[in-house]
């Protein structure tokens, strides 16, 4: 009864422990994962008075709904009770997301962060001896899958300006929002996404030597803070560049190509740097489907 479209599936629970859902029978094995295809696309439109039709204003991806089908198969009915308790522990209500980690038949590993959203029942109608079919409703606020190995690229700011090229591998189908970690000293730092011109500027501000400031562009965060004590530094973003906190991102292969780019280029300018000055880029390669 094992699904054959994956070679492995695990869930990392809120306690940080990884549980095999493919072959161990502890607590259960995979039947299927529905809803892991293309993320749902919603078109945004606008209409003016007397206009026929609408003006298309782009799209957004809706949160993802998935159904995880599992099968408990034990030696006796008492052990099935134990596995039901274990599933209730793993998939119980959480404040932090579960991480599904799937290995495809081609060896690619993709993950998605999700929550249980709905009823995970253990219906008696699905019980037969020492076996039990279980359906788990999952909800992923960010509908994109990602390679769980984060891309980390560090560039020296000893001399400025500098340019860092972040090339995405073929097949990356969704954008990601990066995190920048800047270690001082550096004055009047500006990070520009070339050749688009989106620039986050810290004009008039010095990041002191020995301090690392984190610029987090992820939705729901959009902040700047000092890494050592989480002290807010968002005030230091130059007022005219605040808007780019909402737009600067690492483009997918197709979006980059549509803009005439073969990758993502970021240039950094500033002054007063030393051999200790650097900037680190962190992002994930994201995908529209499993």
Report angle CA 6, 9, 15 to the nearest 5 degrees: 170
Provide the pLDDT confidence category of residue 3 given band limits of 50, 70 and 90. low
Q: Which residue has the tokens 């000893």?
A: 158
Query: What confidence score (pLDDT) does residue 169 get?
Result: 66
Nearest to 87 by CA among 30, 141, 140, 2: 30
Residue 289 CB contacts under 8 Å (≥ 6 apart), including other chains: 36, 37, 38, 39, 145, 173
Q: Which residue has the tokens 């005219």?
A: 240
Query: What confidence score (pLDDT) does residue 142 get?
Result: 97
Longest dimension (CA), the chain: 73
Rounded-to-integer distance, Cα 277 and Cα 270, Å: 10
Name the helix (H) or strand (E) containing 86: helix 77-90
What mean pLDDT, rounded, does the chain reach?
92
Say if CB 205 and CB 246 are below 8 A apart.
no
pLDDT digits (tens, 9 = 90+) for 216-250: 999 999 999 999 999 999 999 999 999 999 999 99
User: Which regions of 117-185 does DSSP assign to beta strands (E)?
Assistant: 127-128, 131-140, 145-146, 151-156, 162-166, 179-183
pLDDT digits (tens, 9 = 90+) for 167-216: 766 789 999 999 999 999 999 999 998 777 889 999 999 999 999 999 99
Tokens read off for 33:
């994962």
Tokens read off for 242:
């605040």
Residue-wise DSSP of 1-56: ---SSEEEEEEE-TTS-EEE-SSS-SS-EEEEEET-SSPPEEEEEE--TT-SS-EE
Query: What confidence score (pLDDT) does residue 5 get?
Result: 82
Nearest to 222 by CA among 202, 240, 248, 187: 248
Rounded-to-integer distance, Cα 156 and Cα 167, Å: 18
Residue 199 CB contacts under 8 Å (≥ 6 apart), including other chains: 190, 191, 192, 193, 241, 244
pLDDT digits (tens, 9 = 90+) for 28-62: 999 999 999 998 999 999 999 999 999 999 999 99
Rounded-to-integer distance, Cα 85 and Cα 21, Å: 15
Residue 203 CB contacts under 8 Å (≥ 6 apart), including other chains: 188, 190, 238
């Amino acid at each position: 009864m094992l699904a054959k479209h994956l070679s492995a599936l695990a869930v990392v629970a809120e306690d940080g422990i990884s549980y095999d859902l493919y072959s161990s029978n502890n607590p259960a094995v995979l039947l299927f994962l529905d809803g892991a295809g293309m993320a749902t696309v919603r078109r945004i439109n606008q209409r003016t008075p007397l206009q026929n039709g609408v003006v298309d204003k782009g799209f957004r991806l809706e949160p993802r709904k998935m159904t995880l089908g599992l099968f408990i198969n034990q030696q006796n009915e008492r052990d099935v009770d134990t596995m039901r308790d274990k599933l209730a522990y793993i998939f119980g209500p959480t404040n932090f997301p579960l991480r599904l980690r799937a290995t495809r038949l081609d060896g690619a590993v993709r993950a998605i962060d999700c929550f249980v959203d709905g009823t995970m029942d253990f219906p008696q109608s699905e019980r037969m001896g020492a076996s039990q079919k279980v359906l788990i409703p999952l909800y992923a606020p960010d509908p994109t899958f990602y390679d769980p190995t984060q891309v980390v690229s560090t560039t020296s700011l000893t001399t400025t300006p500098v340019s860092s090229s972040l090339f995405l591998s073929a097949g990356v189908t969704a954008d990601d929002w990066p995190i920048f970690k800047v270690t001082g000293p550096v004055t009047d730092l500006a990070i520009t996404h070339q050749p688009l011109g989106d620039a986050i500027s810290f004009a008039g501000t010095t990041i002191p030597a020995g301090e690392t400031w984190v610029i987090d562009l992820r939705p729901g965060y959009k902040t700047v803070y000092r890494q050592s004590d989480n002290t807010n530094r968002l005030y230091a973003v130059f007022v005219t560049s605040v808007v780019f906190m909402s737009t600067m991102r690492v483009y997918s292969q197709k979006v980059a190509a549509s803009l005439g780019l073969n990758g993502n280029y970021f240039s950094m300018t500033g002054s007063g740097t030393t051999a200790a000055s650097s900037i680190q880029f962190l992002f994930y390669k994201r995908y529209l489907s499993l």
